[in-house]
Chains A and B, each alone.
Chain A
Amino acid sequence: MTAATPTAQAAAAPASGALPTVRQDRLPLLLLPALALVALPLTGSFATWVTLTFAGLAMGMIIFIMASGLTLVFGLMDVLNFGHGVFITLGAFLAVSVLGRMAGWSESDRLLLNLGAVLPAMLVAMAVTGAVGLAFERLVIRPAYGQPLKQIMITMGGMIVGEEIIKGIWGPQAIPLPLPAAFRGSLLMGEAAVEKYRLIAVALGLVVFGVLYWVLARTKVGLLIRAGVQDREMVESLGYRISRLFVGVFAAGSALAGLGGVMWGLYQQTVTPQIGSGVNVLLFTVIIIGGLGSVGGCFTGAMLVGLVANYTGFLAPKVALFSNILLMVIILSWRPQGLYPVVKR
């Protein structure tokens, strides 16, 4: 027997508008404009500063797309997937194949035809990497739940095997991945030249962030993910099967890595079997800076890394070689758990 529904004793519905507001932690976000403002006088020219800032934001957006799945997977199941890079590589090579078959559209000067080539490349990359992610979770990740050392070894092994399979399909050599014709060149904003593709990357990155934010903040699935990141056991005690949620998040994270691979490949304009493993360290740097498990932190961290890499690349190229690690050291000295630490039990 279940308890009877009790009689109402309380007053009317809570008026959320009447409640005092809670101060949000915006300090890490303020780092972004602060960094840009500091760089403005150093670059010596407003036009150069605009170009560098857009380049940094574009790089940050692509990194965010690639890293967002990684941080969610860690947050939800404490799984550090060192094989994440293989999904990036796979996405980039799938773009090579799809765009290669649609070269007529890709090389056309008409934007619509270019989009008609790039969008299928992105969708195919997301679908295939998502499906491969499901298999990877089942074969590689699942046997190593709760065993961090084994996870590191087996996921790195998974990436090596994945890279070799990719070499077997596409070959070991670097393959050019030219931008579609309408994506090439720059737009002039006053005296500043901003590459078109970087604008597209910023726009697409914002769309992905918006969708992720909406899912996490406005849907019950998102609520479960956020709760699962904090306390898996309690989510299960409330009647939800977190393992299914994790499989879904892993597949979605792999699909995002595939999308990121397409964008990163187009950004580099060359694809190699090591394109994913090469960016892996950068992704881990970003999710550590942001706070492991935090999507908002991942976004902020990615933007910071992108801006710092571009500003230092222009101002002090030698510093740019280790600027990301330096940034991580500074951030962790300030906030040892990252910019937006996730409270876990």
Chain B
Amino acid sequence: MNAPLLKLDGVHTRIGAYHILHGVDLEVAQGGVTVLLGRNGAGKTTTLRTIMGLWRASAGRVLLQGEDLGALDTPEIARRGLAYVPENMGIFSDLTVAENMLLAARGARGAGDIERARLDWIFGLFPHLKQFWQHPAGLLSGGQKQMLAVARAIVEPRTLLLVDEPSKGLAPAIILNMIAAFRELKRTETTILLVEQNFNFARQLGDQVAVMDGGRIVHTGAMAELAGDEALQQRLLGLSLASHQ
């Protein structure tokens, strides 16, 4: 079996007086979608933020292709090829769509320097971004902002995408658009660690799944296995797929 692209080894994270992650062990395989599921407060977002170095692990190791990210700060981690789409989308609302994209293209000095073919590909995934290219991002709808957040993460090829609840608060039609976009990303063998609470969304994209509870990983396996086992869903997530459709 190939070595995982990302490995969390006994990661603990404390935020002030709170001990959020209690020894998270997680592996993200290269070239697929690993979904991190769990109830509110399980530690999913904290896990992503710890990987990005936004919160420091108090114990344990975060390894990217074998390199320990613990000694690196967030900008250095990003420069290792990690792209982060936070739960609040992190859109710069006073900047235009083009400027938001330009910021993510680190090597580009102007929007014209962004690789043309890749930009066209992104416009194919999210046509609204082309339509509102010169508009302030703050004027976009919630769904369009989420599209921009994902587009920004993929404006250049990245080693790993960390995406936090991309379906949150989106209309069904936008969710379908988002699923199609992530499928296209899968086709290009982009590696994605996806945090989700919407199991129906997650099962359509995930290859592997890890379930968190109380700051620990309580289950790992193939998504197909969890999707096909209602009893397991009930036990791990307190839901069944049938009730979620």
Contact = CB atoms under 8 A, between A and B. Distances in A.
A binds B: yes
A8 to B, nearest CB: 4
Interface stretch (A186-194, A238-246, A253-261): A238-246
Contacts of B73: 236, 241
For chain A, the bracket of interface size reads 35 or more
Contact of A13 (B86, B116, B118): B116
Contacts of B146: none
A30 B189 CA distance: 53
A226 B189 contact: no
B81 interface: yes
B109 A10 contact: no
A267 B165 CA distance: 57
Contacts of B102: 220, 223
A237 B86 contact: yes
Contacts of A241: 73, 75
A73 to B, nearest CB: 18
B67 interface: no
A interface, over-half SS: loop
B157 A9 contact: no
B214 interface: no
B128 to A, nearest CB: 11
Interface string B61-101: 00000000000011100110100101010101111000100
B136 to A, nearest CB: 6
Contacts of B188: 3-4, 6
B123 A14 contact: yes
B96 to A, nearest CB: 9
Given A10-B127, A22-B136, A343-B94, A4 B189 contact: yes
B121 A1 contact: no
A71 B52 CA distance: 30
A320 B117 CA distance: 61
B54 A233 contact: yes
B94 A226 contact: yes
Contact of B88 (A8, A235, A345): A345
Given A3-B185, A3-B189, A223-B102, A14 B130 contact: yes
B121 A8 contact: yes
Contacts of A19: 131-135
B59 interface: no
B34 interface: no
Given A237-B74, A241-B75, A5 B116 contact: no
Nearest to B118: A5
B124 A22 contact: no
A17 to B, nearest CB: 9
Interface of B: 5, 30-31, 52, 54, 73-75, 78-79, 81, 84, 86, 88, 90, 92-95, 99, 102-104, 106, 109-110, 115-125, 127, 130-136, 138-139, 152, 154, 157-159, 184-185, 187-191
Given A1-B31, A237-B84, 9 more contacts: A4-B189, A6-B121, A6-B184, A6-B187, A10-B127, A10-B130, A19-B131, A237-B74, A237-B86
Instruction: Please give me the 9 A-B residue pairs with the lowest Cβ-Cβ distance, nearest first.
Output: A9-B124, A239-B78, A10-B123, A234-B90, A10-B124, A3-B190, A10-B120, A2-B157, A14-B133
Interface of A: 1-11, 13-14, 16, 19, 22, 220, 223-224, 226-227, 230-231, 233-242, 342-343, 345
6 contacts: A8-B117, A9-B121, A19-B133, A227-B95, A236-B75, A345-B90
